[in-house]
Structure 1
Amino acid sequence: MTASNSSPQGRYPAGGDAFPHRDLLGLAGLAPHELLFLLDEAEQWVDLNRHAQKRAEVLSGLTIINAFFENSTRTLLSFEIAGKRLGADVINMHAATSSVKKGETLIDTALTLNAMRADGIVIRHASSGAVRLIAEKVDCPVLNAGDGQHEHPTQGLLDALTMRRAFRERGESGEPFCGLKVVICGDILHSRVARSNIHALTTLGAEVRVCAPPALMPAEIEQLKVTPYHDFDAALAGADVVMMLRLQLERMQGQFVPSPREYRHLYGLTVDRLAKAAPGAFVMHPGPMNRGIEIDSNVADDPRCSLITTQVEMGVAMRMACLDVLTRRGRGVEGWQ
């Protein structure tokens, strides 16, 4: 499997002009063709991952460091699998065992990683903007695996890929995003996943509605070209996709919501509530799920509507695509110099 250099049907510029950025720190500001390019690049890796032999050697000889200053299961594991399936040497650095715990500054950590001459660094950090700070201090591509309440770009991309494939498998041709009605419900205030999804989906032409209790709705959220709701039933009317978010209690200080029971009553996705969406609406959740609070098991596990496990599968393919694309210049891939 080799990197593709052509632009199908002129969807985006050829070669490195299709994605001219060294890093992937967020989806805000990316052009529609840049998002579509990354989605298209991921398709080849979806196919590879479904084969018995799940390995390509496009990153053979390269070293990828996964520097996770914040706990993670799904994201870290999928980045590790992605790098190894591309043939890279993958090193995981956990903050709990790093010199950060000994008082080392973030900049000194960045300089240390840079001195090791990695070919790419994947970073997850609890502080918004920390990934950009590190990117400014290193010489290799940096990929944001989630920074504070800012962004989680590969999650936004994998969610868009999941939606596109789901509608295409249903028989709809072309790009499904224009006019697509997507509801994102839950802890919008603290969610970097919501922000990256909003940036990706609105850029691609979707209508995005966000729904949350007043205390968990960011001020002036309308500036992100979304429609805010506090009434979940109203937000669901005619929705094609419903994405649920968990309550990020670890980021909350003080009382943001009533009891879990009351929250489920107002904002939990049940079978009856899902019926208010468009017929055949899909259900998504980035995980981890709090079953019985923001989503009921008979919705999350329903294969007719739930795309939750598909999101996990698409995550590996999307992260493979991002690692491949961001390292092409360093590898001297034709057209990417």
Structure 2
Amino acid sequence: MKAATDLPPVGRHAGQPARRHLLSVADLGADGIEEVLRVTDSFVEVSGRAIPKVPALRGKTVVSLFFEDSTRTRLSFETAARRLSADVMTFSAASSSVNKGESLRDTVETIEAMGIDGVVVRHAGSGVPWQVARWLRQAAVINGGDGWHEHPTQALLDCYTITRMLAGAPAHEGGPGSLAGVRIAIVGDIRHSRVARSDVLAFSALGAHVTLVAPPTLLPPSLAGWPVEVSHDLDAVLPTLDVVYLLRLQQERMREALLPSLREYTATYGLTSTRARLLPDDALIMHPGPVNRGVEIAAEVADQPSSVITRQVANGVAVRMAVLYLLLGSGVDLAA
């Protein structure tokens, strides 16, 4: 494996020092995505050890700066940092000086003054990680999800899960980091989904054919520039797929009535047991979580062998270890 100092930057921004951030899948491109997937293989092996820990980030400090509720992403990053022997600081907006009127900039600069190396930012406002990256002088910034905009590490773990699960399958025409020939449908609330946006960028960069399946009210106002096809007929699309990727209805983000009812949505776009039988036998079923069982996916379908939802969670730790290592790594031999 290359030492971290030998790796190219994953993102530089005008007017900033030449340091690295991961704010968007676009910061990586196909080569960068494939590099993350290759490094992840090493950390999957580490995670399988009796003591799943390496000294790669010993002496580094990583902050979870979460202004929005999260279970999977926050715990995944914190677990990843600890397995790399980094020190972890957890920020909770509910118990911080933000509630006393402190600005986001003052909060960020205060935390950096404590001496940190990396910040994972999650915020309900689109673009906040970019702003944080402009304010910070030393620390690398990782986008842990911003508004409706992006969630790059979710897309990376999804790419890792698909490429490794489909390795050797007839549909998998490319190399180990490629999705060439793979047909993926992203189903559900595309309009409000940062996961969908990052996944479309990542899947298409690796050569997949992506179809968005949703009612018109749950699609973005414009799909100009999206390298996708669109369908409103899930039943017609399912038999053609290698991967069906289901999204949660984000009712907390909906400011208007976009659906007649949850029951009608499930009847048309939910992956019921009957509908799941339309999938090819080797197709993967995916979901970024949290799962609303009985809405976008039937409980029995979420638990069947072709569902890799828990595999995504497990892979997420290894992928985030890879991202942290590539951004902050000291070049320590991972075999140590």
CA drift of 1:29 comes to: 5.2
1:184, 1:247 → 2: CA distance? 13
1:29, 1:222 → 2: CA distance? 20
Helix, strand or coil at the partner of 1:205: coil
Provide Cα deviations, 1:59-113, integer angstroms capped at 9, x if missing partner: 1111111110001011111111100000001011011111112211111112112
1:111, 1:26 → 2: CA distance? 22
State the partner residue of 2:140. Answer: 141
State the partner residue of 1:161. Answer: 160
Q: Is the 8 A contact 2:3 2:332 kept in 1?
A: no
CA drift of 1:278 comes to: 3.1
Q: Does 1:220 align with 2:222?
A: yes
CA drift of 1:332 comes to: 7.1
Q: Structure 2 matches for 1:110-121, cutoff 5 A?
A: 110-121=108-119
Q: Does 1:324 align with 2:325?
A: yes
Q: Does 1:62 align with 2:60?
A: yes
2:282, 2:258 → 1: CA distance? 33
TM-score by length of structure 1 reads 0.91
Provide Cα deviations, 1:32-79, integer angstroms capped at 9, x if missing partner: 111100111111111111111101011111111111000101111111
1:265, 1:43 → 2: CA distance? 39
2:207, 2:285 → 1: CA distance? 19
State the partner residue of 1:122. Answer: 120
**How many residue pairs align between the two structures?**
322
Which runs of 4 or more aligned residues in structure 1 lie more than 4 Å from their structure 2 counterparts after TM superposition? Answer: 18-21, 169-173
Q: Does 1:108 align with 2:99?
A: no
Helix, strand or coil at the partner of 2:166: helix
Runs of 5+ unmatched residues, structure 2? 13-19
State the partner residue of 2:307. Answer: 306
2:160, 2:265 → 1: CA distance? 30
Q: Is the 8 A contact 1:19 1:37 kept in 2?
A: no
Look up the equivalent residue of 2:40 and give its one-letter code.
A
1:306, 1:118 → 2: CA distance? 38
Q: Is the 8 A contact 1:75 1:145 kept in 2?
A: yes
Look up the equivalent residue of 1:309 and give its one-letter code.
T
Q: Is the 8 A contact 1:18 1:37 kept in 2?
A: no
CA drift of 1:307 comes to: 0.6
1:288, 1:20 → 2: CA distance? 29
Q: Is the 8 A contact 1:222 1:228 kept in 2?
A: no
State the partner residue of 2:45. Answer: 47
Runs of 5+ unmatched residues, structure 1? 8-13
1:114, 1:159 → 2: CA distance? 31
Q: Structure 2 matches for 1:239-318, cutoff 5 A?
A: 239-303=241-305, 305-318=306-319
Q: Is the 8 A contact 1:156 1:196 kept in 2?
A: yes
State the partner residue of 2:129. Answer: 131
CA drift of 1:177 comes to: 0.4
1:154, 1:103 → 2: CA distance? 31
Q: Is the 8 A contact 1:18 1:34 kept in 2?
A: no
State the partner residue of 2:6. Answer: 15
State the partner residue of 1:5. Answer: 2
Q: Does 1:193 align with 2:195?
A: yes
Q: Is the 8 A contact 2:11 2:21 kept in 1?
A: no
